[in-house]
Structure 1
Amino acid sequence: MTLRPYYRALGDTGLQLSPLGLGTVKFGRNQGVKYPTSFELPSDQQIRSLLAQAHDLGINLLDTAPAYGTSEERLGPLLAGQRTDWLICTKVGEEFSAGESSFNFSAAHTRRSIERSLRRLHTDYLDMVLVHSDGNDLQVLDDEVYPTLQQLKQQGLIRAFGFSGKTIEGGIRALQQGDCAMVTYNLNEQGERPVLDFALSHNKGILIKKALASGHLCLDGEDPVQQGLRLVLGHRAVTSAIIGTITPRHLEQNVQAAAAVLEQQE
């Protein structure tokens, strides 16, 4: 079982992503997260094993962020010698410290954040960088962060950039000016569907967050994971859905469900 036959293009960026990406918030942060149950941070060996399993299952996308606690710092050493095996997506704009988030979308902070992520991840380029919006999407896009990311892309430090927002208007404007957007879309929340439709008609990439409603998805009858992924992966704009897990069994189940859905859709 592997997802490799089902890789999808991220818009017109030239990047080919697995239809599921591994979210790594649980690698570095267990405070202020919206999961149904509490959890302990995994050990380095547990993360190393999960990364190996994900690679074997055909996943090539890792999603991290400065706001994910120590996620970037832990990933860097654990990915030694494997850089070409992975597409790494990180964020700018949001910081998390002492249990609270803060936001900064200035040019100076954006550059510092990218330089820090490069050091932490032990790499000289980032495949994707998304702006972690504070919810004021249009205001954020009027700030300095997007032009700065465009400059960093021209300098070769990042390969693609986009926006992780909360509104239809923000998502569409972000796609007009960038390469991709990360959108909430699941069986419970489909309000941002117009962003997906816009992306499809303009050859832009879409990453899905909360594809399984952060573990809150509960349905009667059919397997909720498979039904949730059927919705998400059934939209032709969707490049990849980010699945956050530190449990090997859950990871395998998610890949099995995705493979079943994608085989049916061919």
Structure 2
Amino acid sequence: MLYPPRMINRTFGRTGLNVGALGFGAGHIGTPDLSEQDAGTLLNRAVDRGVTLIDTARGYGLSEERVGRHLGWRRQDYVLSSKGGYDVPGTPDWTPDAIRLGIERALRTLNTDHIDIFHLHSCPLDVLRRDDLLGALDAARQAGHIRVAAYSGENDALAWAVSSDRFGSVQTSVNLADQWSVHHALPGAAERGLGVIGKRPVANMAWTYRERPDGQYAEAYWDRLQRLNLPDYGLDRTELALRYAAFAPGVDSVIVGTARTENLERNVRIVERGPLPADVLHDIETRWQAHGQDWGGEI
């Protein structure tokens, strides 16, 4: 099967949005260590290369501000995803006012009149189920400030979000070392026509550590990969991971963050190669069934 030189266009569940298999996670854009010029170059290069989903959040430092500054002029060229529910000055987290005021501030910061997909950001199940918060999302959608109400998270909260009929899309971890959602949540999302964004598709690059990265973000995935003991299948580890996640059943797009244009170009080339061969997928699944069935989604 041949894939186009730009990203594969996919209809994004019942959101009605078109996204490619590769999205851009703009967390790295938020660090002040990245210059303003480099941030603008990277964001525009991503869109130029056909990356039509940009994912950011209130908690990602300068990310929303930089997305608005450098991509606001071409807002029609990409689907904009953000997250919130917290960190609004003078307002308690996870309240209707935090939702309303946070979205209003995000619209100004992102230099746009609407956010395509707005996620409640990794709140626990007891918060996620509150009618006042869900009502605030409904009101933002009715006002045209957001197009799709969504949830970003894992495990029981994700399962509830999928089955609740209150959300049009979800975002969850999907990678070689984190397959809980693939087996337990994404089938239901597909049945209900939800959009699905896969995060952490390259498993925090856990394989780049020669020794266990104690106390670091990749620690849990490093442990899991040791148990799975996946061969390389003749592929670079990044390619193996990214092709697995980008074409996992039920996933519409995966978001990969980077601060380097060469990594962006590499990721585009990888996804253009399409899904992994069937025999590789079968072996990955066999190893997961043997070792990973009791592993929950990594928070």
Instruction: Answer yes or no: same fold by TM over 0.5.
Output: yes
Counterpart amino acid of residue 245 in structure 1: T
User: How many Å separate the matches in 2 of 1:264 and 1:8?
Assistant: 21
1:73 to 1:239, Cα distance in 2 relative to 1, 3 A:
same
Distance across 1 between alignment mates of 2:121 and 2:128? 9
What letter corresponds to residue 6 of structure 2 in structure 1?
L
> For structure 1, which runs of at least 5 residues remain unmatched after alignment?
30-39
Q: Secondary structure at the match of 1:208?
A: strand
The root-mean-square deviation of aligned C-alpha atoms, in Å, is 2.3
Figure out how many residues of one structure are paired with residues of the other and give that number.
Answer: 248
Q: Decide whether aligned partners of structure 1 residues 23 and 223 sit closer, same or farther in structure 2, where only a CA change above 3 A counts.
A: same
AA matched with 2:87:
E
- Per the alignment, residue 160 of structure 1 pairs with 148
Structure 2: tracts of 5 or more residues without a match: 209-229, 279-299
Q: What is the TM-score of this pair, normalised by structure 1?
A: 0.85
Instruction: State the partner residue of 2:10.
Output: 8
For the pair 1:43 / 2:45, whether they are aligned, the reply is no
Q: How far apart in 2 are the matches of 1:258 and 1:191?
A: 22
Q: How does 1:70-109 map to 2 (within 5 A)?
A: 70-95=62-87, 104-109=93-98
Partners of 1:128 and 1:161 within 8 A in 2: yes
Q: Could you tell me whether the CA contact under 8 Å between 1:105 and 1:143 is conserved in 2? A: no
1:171 and 2:161 are equivalent in the alignment: no
Structure 2 partner of 1:115? 104
Query: Among 271, 275, 287, which residue is 1:258 paired with?
Result: 271
Q: Is the 8 A contact 1:27 1:41 kept in 2?
A: no
The equivalent of 2:191 in structure 1 is 201
Q: Whole-Å Cα distance in 2 between the matches of residues 253 and 119 of structure 1? A: 33
1:35: which partner in 2?
none
102-111 or 19-28: bigger deviation: 102-111
Higher strand share: 1
- Partner amino acid, structure 1, of 2:273: A
Listed one character per residue, the Cα deviations across residues 120-163 of structure 1 (whole Å, up to 9, x for unaligned) are 011111111011124x2243222532221112111111111110
Q: What is the CA deviation profile of residues 92-133 of structure 1, one whole-angstrom value per residue up to 9, with x for unaligned ones? A: 124399xxxx98211111000000000001111111101112
Q: Do the aligned partners of residues 88 and 61 (structure 1) sit closer, same or farther apart at CA in structure 2, a change above 3 Å counting?
A: same
Percent identity between the aligned chains?
A: 30
Shift of 1:264: 7.2
- The answer to whether the 8 A contact 2:28-2:257 is kept is yes
Letter in 2 for 1:3: R
Give the distance between the partners of 2:119 and 2:128, measured in 1 at CA.
12
- Assess, with a 3 A threshold, how the Cα gap between structure 1 residues 146 and 214 changes in structure 2: closer, same or farther: farther
Contact 1:67 1:96 in 2 (8 A): no
CA distance in structure 1 between the aligned counterparts of 2:138 and 2:169, rounded to whole angstroms: 13
> What is the alpha-carbon distance in structure 1 between the residues aligned to residue 18 and residue 249 of structure 2?
14
* More deviation, 109-118/75-84: 75-84
Cα separation, 2, equivalents of 1:211 and 1:238: 11
| CA distance, structure 2, for counterparts of residue 185 and residue 144 of structure 1 | 30
Match of 1:183 in 2: 172
Matched, 1:239 2:241: no
Shift of 1:171: 1.4
| Partners of 1:131 and 1:80 in 2: CA distance | 23
Q: Single out whichever of 152-161 and 110-119 deviates more from structure 2.
A: 152-161
TM-score normalised by the chain length of structure 2: 0.77
One-letter amino acid matched to 1:261: G
1:53 aligns with 2:45: yes
Deviations 1:63-100 (A, max 9, x none): 11110012111221212421111211111124399xxx
List aligned pairs for 1:28-39, cutoff 5 A: 28-29=30-31
- Give the deviation of 1:262 after TM superposition: 4.7
What residue identity is the alignment partner of 1:17?
V
Could you say if the C-alpha distance between residues 83 and 258 of structure 1 is closer, same or farther in structure 2, counting changes exceeding 3 Å?
Answer: same
- Amino acid paired to 2:108: R
In 2, the alpha carbon distance for the partners of 1:106 and 1:51 equals 32
Which of residues 65, 72, 90 in structure 1 aligns to 2:57?
Answer: 65
Q: Distance in 1 between matches of 2:114 and 2:97?
A: 18
